[in-house]
């Protein structure tokens, strides 16, 4: 990683000496905090020479116990106001505030300390921590008093006096080229020599390899430039005109028109035609006997599935069901611990058959992105002379074992030789046409070690059959998923990892391009079948199926992305032939049923669809963040006087996180009385919260560029800001037409209605065009529509936890809020009662949104079995919806309907009201059912369709998962910032 888009030494320097605004460099400290946490995982940190306290703030916002100290003689005006309690002015010669820290950060400090005090300061730092992240400018740069400029080796010698060694394996260059990490250790002389020699050797080998690749890239670039210069657009146009004027083109065009007339695309006739063609292809591949056997097997499978459904339906209808409602609880979604470097022993096996350039690129990426410990085993399976010679020279110069076969034996046999030579706890089988990405091995190892029953794991890729993202198929073939322009494999890997929930879903099949395998599995199950799959293709499926029969589980490491260039070892024709042969052998060994079930899961599983859908928009989200860098340093304050989680607060929270990624500082203003409930509802807020009454707002608002009201009574709070000499931009975030929530003519109704026209110089923002129209009609004021949004990182399909799934009862979920009449709580319960009584045992009614002992709810609850989960925070809602099949919103209107969006993102089939703004994301019969909720029978009919029609339900769920991801928070955040700052 480069030096965080700037040199942190210079940033600290400019802040300390008063020539740099804190806002201008906020992004740098945010990234520095992220890197420190990801790499070093400290619980407590002291930033010596903290400047204005920007790093302290960034670390504390991420849950680290961070403190700061700076010399009282510097020209710091003041620490960041809300973090003054965690920073102090003190000399680095004085004892530090606490006795011990997990990490001390010391950047651009000691060059200002006189030479005679240097050793005393270093001793002081070393006595308070076991690791120190240190940087000191080794030459005069810019203005400022540099009393003690020394080269890095001089600092290393000083720290060594006090028992600290420069950690050569840690790359601190993200701070500055001369930055170092010192750790408490005292190695013997021979150990230090070995350490330095090993590092020097590794660097020299890496430099040599990079030079070779650089020469190749230059030659390839020169050739492409020559080709580009010789290419003329008119040549291409002439060829195109010749094709269009040819007889064959006219014949093909007429034939295509005839085909579209006889067999319209998307029609039943086209479906029937495709089945006919598929039948002929199977007949050609399998022969008459195989065709009949396969047809019989598939018919039996369909009969078994239908019989199973009938039996399951009978069982559910006659199962014992609770006759009363019950209070239930649900945990928040699981958050896995931070990633750590692997410590287990790993052998990486790369089988090679020619394709020299791919091999070189693969090995270069291996050295660049793989952390120790690991051992490399190269298996040369009969490569031609250039590749064989390269591998021989490579193994001589690097710590790698080379196994050479003079003739090609096929991938399964070559892989077996490598695995038999391995002694490590884990084996990684890696294709030679892959490009590895940062932390790939650490992430694979973390995944496989989460459960001792996991025997094999695989990563995501651009082309790896079922593990491909964002698409698995394209025009009837495997998708190639080229990277967006300007995005490298490492860049795509960062996007995938940053948006991953690390679900590690179980997989019935895994692609063999990259596999981490547990040694115990190989000892029990054996190696690849190199007889039945002698030339490759299908051998990994066979091993997976054999392992599953022995009780092993397979998992997808959904936070790992490895680029797959697709092997040049086989031609396309040979690859197709091998794949067809493999399918036949697999069916003979394991049967059609288990393979068909595995393929169906890989193709349709909601968890996998959710992963693909989020990968589809990952690059767009990143570009959205980059477009907003123009607003970096701006400070926004949302007035959010709430004491519990709710749709409006959830939206603002997720969009604020997106703004913070854009470099915008976001804070919330809440009332002290709400503090306990608010912090319980949002225990992991990334935004700072300022608690105060309405009259204190002007004093706080001086420090912000924008202040935004989010609830109609708070618009009047903004009137106070007119008295400020230079008041901030005023905004009103209108998430719904709030007068509809009150009795017409009441005081609350009038306040809500007047809020839209209360201030002339306020910028109105609405989520949907429906809300915009309501405000315009009622007040004559125009709103800027920023569009719906939903937190698609939190709300996503997750593995089902019910032991009965997918044969258990369908889970119907609805939000019940008796205090909100427009949500129609009584009608919602009546609808669920009718469903439970008609489909006894086949459906289950789940409720949330109000305490189970709420008297208003108890008055509504009817005599049927239900489960009430109470008031949930966003993480609990996401967990409940991920276990839900159908979500029902029976509101009389919905300005947007966030919970329905969350349900769609979690993979539910949803029913939403026609009246309101749901149509801004919901499409009837495509990803949802939009219903006129003024008629009970309309809603009941829609619910029956979703319960009874599995095909409809699955189609809506599938489309909802993909469609809703277009409404990521970054897009709405961009629209908000553009509205506020550009008008």
DSSP state of 640: -
Question: What's the CA gap between 288 and 107, in Å, rounded?
Answer: 76
Ranked by mean pLDDT, which of 626-635, 852-861, 874-883 comes out on top? 874-883
Question: What's the CA gap between 702 and 581, in Å, rounded?
Answer: 73
Ranked by mean pLDDT, which of 32-46, 424-438, 534-548 comes out on top? 424-438
- Kindly report which listed range (7-11, 442-446, 833-837) carries the lowest average pLDDT score: 7-11
Sheet-wide strand order for 131-135:
87-89, 65-70, 44-48, 103-107, 131-135, 180-184, 164-166
Question: Mean of the per-residue pLDDT values for the chain?
Answer: 87
What pLDDT shows up at residue 308? 60
Is residue 132 pLDDT above 60, yes or no? yes
Residue 184: φ, ψ to 5°: -75, 110
Strands 563-564 and 434-435: antiparallel
Query: Crossing angle, helix 606-627 and helix 592-604, to 10 degrees?
Result: 30
Question: What's the CA gap between 603 and 458, in Å, rounded?
Answer: 16
Is residue 539 pLDDT above 90, yes or no? yes
Mean pLDDT of the 196-218 span: 76
**Mapping DSSP to helix (H, G, I), strand (E, B) and coil, where does residue 688 land?**
strand
Q: How far is CA 914 from CA 49, 301, 504, 927, in A?
A: 59, 41, 38, 14
What pLDDT shows up at residue 808? 81
Task: Locate the DSSP E strands across 364-425.
Answer: 375-381, 400-405
Longest distance between any two alpha carbons in the chain, whole Å: 93
Question: What's the CA gap between 322 and 23, in Å, rounded?
Answer: 59
**Mapping DSSP to helix (H, G, I), strand (E, B) and coil, where does residue 155 land?**
helix
Calculate ∠ Cα 136-138-142, nearest 5°: 90
Q: How far is CA 735 from CA 141, 328, 764, in A?
A: 51, 31, 10
**Mapping DSSP to helix (H, G, I), strand (E, B) and coil, where does residue 928 land?**
strand
**Mapping DSSP to helix (H, G, I), strand (E, B) and coil, where does residue 922 land?**
coil
- Kindly report which listed range (60-64, 485-489, 793-797) carries the lowest average pLDDT score: 60-64
Q: How far is CA 610 from CA 615, 677, 903, 904, 922, in A?
A: 9, 32, 12, 10, 17
Is residue 13 pLDDT above 60, yes or no? no
The residue written with tokens 């499978």 in the block is: 301
What pLDDT shows up at residue 311? 63
**What residues pair up with 635 in beta bridges, in sequence order?**
665
- Rounded to 10 degrees, the C-alpha dihedral 837/829/886/929 comes to 110
CA end-to-end span of the chain: 37
Predicted confidence (pLDDT) per residue in 151-195, tens digit: 888 899 999 999 999 988 888 888 888 899 999 987 777 877 888
Question: What's the CA gap between 715 and 731, in Å, rounded?
Answer: 9
DSSP state of 74: S
What pLDDT shows up at residue 678? 93
Question: What's the CA gap between 41 and 3, in Å, rounded?
Answer: 20
Bond from prior residue into 373 cis (ω within 30 degrees of 0): yes
Mean pLDDT of the 882-910 span: 96
What pLDDT shows up at residue 20? 44
Q: Residue 665, by phi and psi: left (phi above 0), alpha (psi -120 to 50) or beta?
A: beta
What pLDDT shows up at residue 22? 47
Residue 14 tokens read as 């400019």
DSSP state of 371: P
The predicted model scores a pTM of 0.73
Q: Which long-range contacts (CB under 8 A, 24 or more apart) does 599-604 make?
A: 599/509, 601/508, 602/465, 602/466, 602/472, 602/507, 602/508, 602/509, 603/466, 603/472, 604/954, 604/958
- Rounded to 10 degrees, the C-alpha dihedral 863/865/871/872 comes to -160
Predicted confidence (pLDDT) per residue in 654-694, tens digit: 999 999 999 999 999 999 999 999 999 898 888 899 999 99
DSSP state of 337: P
Question: What's the CA gap between 796 and 787, in Å, rounded?
Answer: 20
Question: What's the CA gap between 873 and 647, in Å, rounded?
Answer: 11
Note the helical H segments in 526-566.
539-549
Question: What's the CA gap between 461 and 608, in Å, rounded?
Answer: 13
DSSP state of 97: S
Question: What's the CA gap between 167 and 179, in Å, rounded?
Answer: 11
Question: What's the CA gap between 434 and 362, in Å, rounded?
Answer: 5
**Mapping DSSP to helix (H, G, I), strand (E, B) and coil, where does residue 339 land?**
coil
Find all residues with CB under 8 Å of 498, minimum gap 6, and list them.
none
Q: Residue 505, by phi and psi: left (phi above 0), alpha (psi -120 to 50) or beta?
A: beta
Is residue 16 pLDDT above 70, yes or no? no
What pLDDT shows up at residue 143? 40
Calculate ∠ Cα 245-251-254, nearest 5°: 110
**What residues pair up with 65 in beta bridges, in sequence order?**
44
Predicted confidence (pLDDT) per residue in 953-982, tens digit: 999 999 999 999 999 999 999 999 999 998
What pLDDT shows up at residue 369? 95
Mean pLDDT of the 530-550 span: 92
Predicted confidence (pLDDT) per residue in 261-277, tens digit: 878 876 777 777 777 87
Predicted confidence (pLDDT) per residue in 33-55, tens digit: 888 988 888 989 999 988 888 89
Predicted confidence (pLDDT) per residue in 340-394, tens digit: 999 999 999 999 999 999 999 999 999 999 999 999 999 999 999 999 999 999 9
What pLDDT shows up at residue 497? 96
- Kindly report which listed range (173-182, 198-207, 762-771, 849-858) carries the lowest average pLDDT score: 198-207
Which DSSP string corresponds to 468-527? BSS-SEETTEE---PPPTT--HHHHHHHHHHH------B-S---TTEEEEEHHHHHHH-S
Residue 230 tokens read as 């010789």
Residue 277 tokens read as 């063609």
What pLDDT shows up at residue 276? 80
Residue 247 tokens read as 């007889």
Among the listed residues 136, 135, 133, 124, the one whose alpha carbon sits nearest the alpha carbon of residue 100: 124
């Amino acid at each position: 990683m480069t030096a965080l888009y700037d040199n942190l030494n210079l940033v600290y320097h400019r802040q300390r000496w008063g020539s740099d605004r804190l806002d201008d460099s906020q992004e740098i400290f945010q990234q520095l905090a992220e890197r420190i946490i990801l790499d070093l995982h400290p619980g407590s940190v002291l930033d010596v020479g903290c400047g204005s306290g920007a790093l302290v703030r960034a670390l504390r916002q991420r849950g680290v116990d961070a403190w700061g100290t700076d010399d009282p003689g510097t020209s710091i005006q003041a620490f960041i106001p809300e973090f003054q309690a965690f920073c102090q002015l003190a000399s680095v010669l004085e004892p530090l505030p606490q006795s011990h820290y997990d990490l001390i950060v010391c950047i651009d400090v000691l060059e200002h300390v006189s030479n005679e005090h240097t050793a005393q300061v270093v001793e002081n730092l070393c006595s308070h921590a076991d690791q120190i992240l240190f940087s000191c400018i080794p030459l005069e740069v810019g203005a400022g008093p540099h009393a003690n400029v020394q080269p890095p080796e001089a600092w290393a010698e000083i720290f060594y006096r006090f028992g600290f060694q420069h950690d050569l394996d840690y790359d601190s260059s993200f701070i500055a080229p001369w930055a170092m990490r010192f750790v408490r250790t005292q190695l013997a002389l021979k150990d230090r020599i070995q350490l330095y020699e090993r590092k020097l050797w590794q660097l020299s080998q890496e430099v040599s390899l990079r030079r070779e690749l650089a020469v190749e890239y230059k030659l390839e670039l020169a050739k492409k430039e020559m080709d580009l210069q010789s290419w003329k657009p008119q040549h291409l146009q002439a060829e195109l005109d010749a094709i269009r004027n040819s007889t064959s083109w006219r014949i093909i065009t007429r034939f295509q028109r005839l085909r579209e007339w006889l067999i319209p695309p998307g029609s039943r006739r086209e479906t029937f035609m495709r089945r006919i063609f598929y039948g002929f292809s199977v007949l050609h591949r399998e022969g008459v006997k195989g065709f009949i056997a396969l047809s019989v097997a598939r018919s039996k499978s369909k009969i078994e599935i239908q019989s199973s459904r009938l039996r399951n339906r009978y069982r559910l209808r006659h199962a014992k069901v609770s006759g009363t409602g019950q209070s239930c609880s649900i945990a928040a979604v699981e958050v896995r611990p931070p990633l750590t470097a692997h410590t287990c022993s790993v052998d990486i096996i790369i089988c090679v058959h020619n394709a020299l350039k791919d091999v070189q690129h693969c090995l270069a990426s291996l050295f660049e992105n793989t952390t120790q410990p690991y051992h490399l085993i190269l298996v040369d399976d009969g490569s031609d002379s250039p590749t064989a010679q390269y591998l021989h020279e490579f193994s001589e110069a690097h710590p790698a074992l080379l196994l050479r076969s003079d003739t090609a034996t096929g991938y399964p046999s070559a892989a077996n030789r490598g695995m038999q030579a391995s002694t490590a706890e884990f084996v990684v089988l890696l294709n030679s046409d892959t490009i590895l990405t940062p932390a790939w091995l650490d992430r694979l190892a973390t995944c496989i070690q989460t459960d001792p029953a996991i025997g094999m794991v695989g990563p995501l890729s651009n082309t790896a059959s079922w593990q491909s993202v964002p698409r698995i198929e394209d025009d009837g073939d495997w998708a190639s998923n080229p990277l967006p322009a300007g995005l490298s494999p490492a860049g795509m890997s960062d996007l995938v990892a940053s948006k991953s929930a690390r679900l590690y879903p179980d997989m019935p099949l895994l692609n063999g391009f990259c596999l981490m395998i547990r040694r115990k599995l190989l000892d029990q199950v054996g190696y690849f079948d190199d007889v039945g799959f002698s030339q490759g293709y299908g051998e990994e499926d066979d091993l997976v199926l054999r392992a599953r029969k022995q009780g092993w589980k397979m998992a997808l490491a959904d936070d790992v992305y490895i680029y797959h260039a697709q092997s040049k070892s086989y031609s396309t024709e040979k690859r197709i032939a091998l794949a067809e042969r493999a399918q036949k052998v697999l069916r003979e060994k394991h049967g059609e049923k288990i393979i068909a079930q595995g393929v169906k899961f890989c193709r349709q599983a909601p968890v996998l669809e959710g992963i693909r859908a989020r990968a589809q928009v990952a690059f767009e989200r990143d570009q959205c963040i980059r477009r907003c860098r123009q607003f970096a340093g701006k400070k926004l304050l949302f007035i959010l006087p709430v004491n519990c989680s709710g749709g409006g607060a959830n939206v603002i929270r997720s969009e604020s996180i997106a703004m913070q990624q854009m470099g915008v500082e976001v804070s919330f203003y809440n009332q002290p009385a709400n503090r306990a409930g608010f912090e319980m509802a949002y225990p992991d807020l990334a935004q700072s919260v300022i608690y105060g009454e309405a009259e204190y707002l002007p004093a706080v608002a001086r420090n912000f560029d924008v202040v935004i009201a989010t609830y109609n009574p708070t618009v009047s709070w903004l009137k106070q800001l007119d008295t400020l000499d230079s008041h901030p931009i005023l905004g009103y975030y209108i998430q719904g037409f709030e007068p509809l929530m009150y009795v017409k003519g009441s005081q609350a109704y009038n306040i809500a209605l007047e809020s839209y026209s209360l201030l002339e110089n306020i910028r109105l923002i609405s989520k949907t065009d429906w809300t915009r129209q309501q405000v315009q009609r009622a007040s004559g004021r125009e709103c800027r529509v920023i569009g719906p949004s939903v937190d698609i990182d939190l709300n996503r399909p997750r593995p089902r936890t019910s032991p009965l799934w997918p044969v258990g009862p369908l889970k119907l979920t609805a939000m019940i809020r008796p205090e909100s009449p427009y949500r129609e709580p009584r009608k919602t319960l009546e609808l669920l009662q009718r469903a439970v009584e008609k489909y006894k045992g086949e459906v289950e009614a789940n409720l949330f949104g109000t305490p189970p002992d709420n008297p208003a709810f108890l008055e509504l609850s009817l005599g049927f079995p239900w489960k009430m989960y109470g008031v949930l925070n966003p993480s609990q809602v996401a967990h409940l919806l991920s276990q839900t099949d159908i979500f029902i919103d029976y509101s009389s209107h919905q300005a947007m309907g966030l919970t329905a969006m969350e349900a769609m993102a979690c993979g539910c089939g949803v029913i939403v009201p026609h009246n309101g703004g749901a149509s801004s994301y919901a499409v009837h019969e495509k990803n949802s059912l939009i219903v006129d909720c003024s008629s009970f029978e309309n809603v009941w009919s829609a619910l029956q369709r979703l319960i009874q029609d599995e095909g409809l339900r699955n189609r809506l769920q599938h489309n909802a998962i993909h469609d809703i991801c277009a409404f990521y928070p970054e897009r709405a955040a961009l629209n908000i910032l553009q509205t506020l700052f550009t008008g």
